[in-house]
């Protein structure tokens, strides 16, 4: 797929960019474990910016959304 404008801008600044696309998982705990493992793997690879699809807006997903929000706050 073509790079998004956010990805293109980050690459232009010399950042290492990754897009994280997890398979559809209906269980937040399973998704969270897969997400955290992938975030750690990308961190070890030296990726400086990770683009992640948003997760459902329901109470069951609060912990995953909170983790993503805290990670995103580093770049705000």
State if pTM tops 0.95: no
Q: What is the pLDDT of residue 63?
A: 92
Q: Residues 2-60: pLDDT tens digits?
A: 566 776 776 667 777 777 776 677 889 998 888 888 888 888 988 888 888 888 889 99
Burial class (CB in 10 A: 0-12, 13-18, 19+), 53: exposed
- The β-bridge partners of 17 are 49
Backbone angles phi, psi at 5, to 5 degrees: -65, -35
């Amino acid at each position: 797929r073509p790079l998004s404008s956010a990805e293109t801008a980050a690459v232009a600044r010399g950042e290492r960019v990754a897009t994280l696309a997890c398979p559809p998982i209906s269980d937040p705990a399973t998704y969270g474990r897969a997400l955290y493992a992938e975030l750690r793997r990308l961190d070890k690879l030296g990726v400086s910016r990770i683009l992640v699809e948003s997760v459902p807006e329901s109470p069951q997903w609060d912990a995953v959304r909170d983790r993503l929000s805290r990670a995103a706050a580093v770049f705000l």
